[in-house]
Amino acid sequence: MKAHEIRLAKLGEGDLDNLSRWAQSDEAYGTYDEPSRLTLPQIRAKWEKGEYAYTWIIHHGEKKVGFCHSLPHPWNDWTAILAVIIAEPTARGRGIGTEVHKRLCHTIFALQAEVQKIEAYTDRENQAEQRVLEKCGFVQEGLLRKSGLIRGEIRDMYVYGLIR
Protein backbone atom coordinates (compact mmCIF):
# COMPACT_ATOMS: atom_id res chain seq x y z
CA MET A 1 0.00 0.00 0.00
CA LYS A 2 1.30 3.42 -0.93
CA ALA A 3 -0.06 6.47 0.88
CA HIS A 4 -0.66 8.29 -2.40
CA GLU A 5 -3.12 5.52 -3.41
CA ILE A 6 -5.46 6.54 -0.58
CA ARG A 7 -7.84 9.44 -0.94
CA LEU A 8 -10.57 10.78 1.34
CA ALA A 9 -13.46 12.43 -0.50
CA LYS A 10 -16.37 14.25 1.13
CA LEU A 11 -19.48 12.11 1.16
CA GLY A 12 -21.67 13.07 -1.78
CA GLU A 13 -25.12 12.07 -2.92
CA GLY A 14 -23.59 9.53 -5.29
CA ASP A 15 -22.02 7.72 -2.31
CA LEU A 16 -25.26 7.09 -0.43
CA ASP A 17 -25.87 3.74 -2.16
CA ASN A 18 -22.48 2.45 -0.93
CA LEU A 19 -23.15 3.74 2.56
CA SER A 20 -26.53 1.97 2.54
CA ARG A 21 -25.04 -1.29 1.27
CA TRP A 22 -22.35 -1.23 3.95
CA ALA A 23 -24.91 -0.30 6.65
CA GLN A 24 -26.69 -3.60 6.03
CA SER A 25 -23.58 -5.79 6.01
CA ASP A 26 -22.02 -7.57 8.99
CA GLU A 27 -19.03 -8.36 6.74
CA ALA A 28 -18.49 -4.65 6.00
CA TYR A 29 -18.30 -3.84 9.70
CA GLY A 30 -16.13 -6.83 10.60
CA THR A 31 -15.99 -8.73 13.85
CA TYR A 32 -15.72 -5.78 16.21
CA ASP A 33 -18.34 -3.30 15.04
CA GLU A 34 -22.09 -3.23 14.54
CA PRO A 35 -23.72 -2.14 11.27
CA SER A 36 -26.22 0.69 11.66
CA ARG A 37 -28.82 -1.14 9.52
CA LEU A 38 -29.99 2.23 8.17
CA THR A 39 -31.88 2.00 4.90
CA LEU A 40 -31.14 4.16 1.87
CA PRO A 41 -34.14 6.47 2.60
CA GLN A 42 -32.95 6.89 6.21
CA ILE A 43 -29.39 7.64 5.08
CA ARG A 44 -30.65 10.08 2.44
CA ALA A 45 -32.78 11.91 5.06
CA LYS A 46 -29.78 12.24 7.38
CA TRP A 47 -27.62 13.45 4.47
CA GLU A 48 -30.23 16.06 3.48
CA LYS A 49 -30.30 17.33 7.10
CA GLY A 50 -26.51 17.75 7.03
CA GLU A 51 -25.79 14.97 9.51
CA TYR A 52 -22.95 13.66 7.36
CA ALA A 53 -21.10 16.99 7.22
CA TYR A 54 -17.89 15.40 8.53
CA THR A 55 -18.07 12.09 6.65
CA TRP A 56 -15.61 11.00 3.96
CA ILE A 57 -15.49 8.06 1.59
CA ILE A 58 -12.19 6.17 1.62
CA HIS A 59 -10.77 5.46 -1.84
CA HIS A 60 -7.92 3.04 -2.45
CA GLY A 61 -6.91 3.65 -6.02
CA GLU A 62 -10.19 3.82 -7.95
CA LYS A 63 -12.13 1.63 -5.50
CA LYS A 64 -14.33 2.85 -2.65
CA VAL A 65 -13.30 0.73 0.33
CA GLY A 66 -15.02 2.35 3.31
CA PHE A 67 -15.87 5.55 5.09
CA CYS A 68 -14.80 7.60 8.07
CA HIS A 69 -16.28 10.41 10.07
CA SER A 70 -15.99 12.76 12.96
CA LEU A 71 -18.95 12.95 15.30
CA PRO A 72 -19.66 15.58 17.95
CA HIS A 73 -19.09 14.45 21.51
CA PRO A 74 -22.39 14.31 23.44
CA TRP A 75 -21.02 16.16 26.50
CA ASN A 76 -18.76 18.92 25.20
CA ASP A 77 -17.82 20.97 22.14
CA TRP A 78 -14.04 20.47 22.32
CA THR A 79 -13.94 16.71 21.74
CA ALA A 80 -14.65 14.89 18.47
CA ILE A 81 -15.28 11.18 18.14
CA LEU A 82 -13.47 9.43 15.29
CA ALA A 83 -14.79 6.39 13.47
CA VAL A 84 -13.20 4.54 10.56
CA ILE A 85 -14.81 1.62 8.75
CA ILE A 86 -12.76 -0.29 6.18
CA ALA A 87 -15.87 -1.90 4.70
CA GLU A 88 -14.25 -3.97 1.96
CA PRO A 89 -12.58 -6.99 3.63
CA THR A 90 -9.89 -7.20 0.91
CA ALA A 91 -8.70 -3.72 1.94
CA ARG A 92 -8.07 -4.69 5.58
CA GLY A 93 -4.63 -5.44 6.98
CA ARG A 94 -2.84 -3.40 4.30
CA GLY A 95 -2.09 -0.17 6.19
CA ILE A 96 -5.06 1.70 4.74
CA GLY A 97 -6.72 2.11 8.15
CA THR A 98 -3.57 3.56 9.70
CA GLU A 99 -3.18 6.10 6.90
CA VAL A 100 -6.87 7.03 7.07
CA HIS A 101 -6.71 7.53 10.85
CA LYS A 102 -3.71 9.86 10.46
CA ARG A 103 -5.34 11.89 7.70
CA LEU A 104 -8.69 12.09 9.45
CA CYS A 105 -7.11 13.33 12.70
CA HIS A 106 -5.18 15.99 10.75
CA THR A 107 -8.39 16.98 8.94
CA ILE A 108 -10.47 17.18 12.13
CA PHE A 109 -7.91 19.43 13.84
CA ALA A 110 -7.60 21.58 10.69
CA LEU A 111 -11.35 22.03 10.08
CA GLN A 112 -12.63 22.21 13.64
CA ALA A 113 -10.63 24.82 15.55
CA GLU A 114 -12.63 24.23 18.73
CA VAL A 115 -11.65 20.55 18.88
CA GLN A 116 -8.85 19.97 21.38
CA LYS A 117 -9.20 16.20 21.67
CA ILE A 118 -10.21 13.29 19.46
CA GLU A 119 -11.60 10.13 21.03
CA ALA A 120 -11.89 6.68 19.50
CA TYR A 121 -13.65 3.65 20.92
CA THR A 122 -12.79 0.04 20.15
CA ASP A 123 -13.76 -3.40 21.34
CA ARG A 124 -11.51 -4.73 24.08
CA GLU A 125 -10.49 -7.66 21.83
CA ASN A 126 -9.81 -5.60 18.68
CA GLN A 127 -6.02 -5.64 18.89
CA ALA A 128 -5.55 -4.52 15.27
CA GLU A 129 -7.50 -1.27 15.87
CA GLN A 130 -5.67 -0.72 19.15
CA ARG A 131 -2.32 -0.95 17.32
CA VAL A 132 -3.53 1.48 14.64
CA LEU A 133 -4.65 4.01 17.24
CA GLU A 134 -1.36 3.77 19.13
CA LYS A 135 0.65 4.19 15.87
CA CYS A 136 -1.33 7.39 15.29
CA GLY A 137 -0.46 8.81 18.72
CA PHE A 138 -3.63 7.90 20.62
CA VAL A 139 -3.30 6.89 24.27
CA GLN A 140 -5.54 4.30 25.89
CA GLU A 141 -7.49 6.24 28.52
CA GLY A 142 -9.73 3.63 30.03
CA LEU A 143 -11.93 0.58 29.87
CA LEU A 144 -15.67 1.08 29.51
CA ARG A 145 -17.20 -2.09 30.87
CA LYS A 146 -20.29 -3.46 29.13
CA SER A 147 -20.66 -0.38 26.91
CA GLY A 148 -20.67 -1.73 23.35
CA LEU A 149 -23.27 -3.85 21.59
CA ILE A 150 -21.96 -6.14 18.86
CA ARG A 151 -24.16 -8.84 17.30
CA GLY A 152 -26.44 -8.86 20.32
CA GLU A 153 -23.62 -9.19 22.86
CA ILE A 154 -22.82 -6.41 25.33
CA ARG A 155 -19.06 -5.98 25.31
CA ASP A 156 -16.24 -4.05 26.97
CA MET A 157 -14.73 -1.16 25.02
CA TYR A 158 -11.51 0.80 25.33
CA VAL A 159 -11.52 4.56 24.92
CA TYR A 160 -8.48 6.19 23.33
CA GLY A 161 -7.64 9.89 23.19
CA LEU A 162 -5.45 12.13 21.06
CA ILE A 163 -4.76 15.69 22.27
CA ARG A 164 -4.16 18.55 19.80
Residue range 129-161, pLDDT digits in tens: 999 999 999 999 999 999 999 888 999 999 999
The CATH code of the domain that includes 142 is 3.40.630.30
The count of structural domains within the chain is: 1
Is residue 2 over pLDDT 90?
Answer: no
Average pLDDT taken over every residue of the chain: 93
Provide the whole-model pTM.
Answer: 0.90
Q: What is the pLDDT of residue 163?
A: 97
Q: What range does the domain containing 66 cover? A: 3-163
**C-alpha to C-alpha distance for 107 and 118, rounded to whole angstroms:** 11
Per-residue H/E/C for the chain: CCHHHEEEEECCHHHHHHHHHHHCCHHHHCCCCCCCCCCHHHHHHHHHCCCCCCEEEEEECCEEEEEEEEEECCCCCCEEEEEEEECCHHHCCCCHHHHHHHHHHHHHHHHCCCCCEEEEEEECCCHHHHHHHHHCCCEEEEEEEEEEEECCEEEEEEEEEEEC
- Provide φ and ψ at 36, rounded to 5°: -75, -25
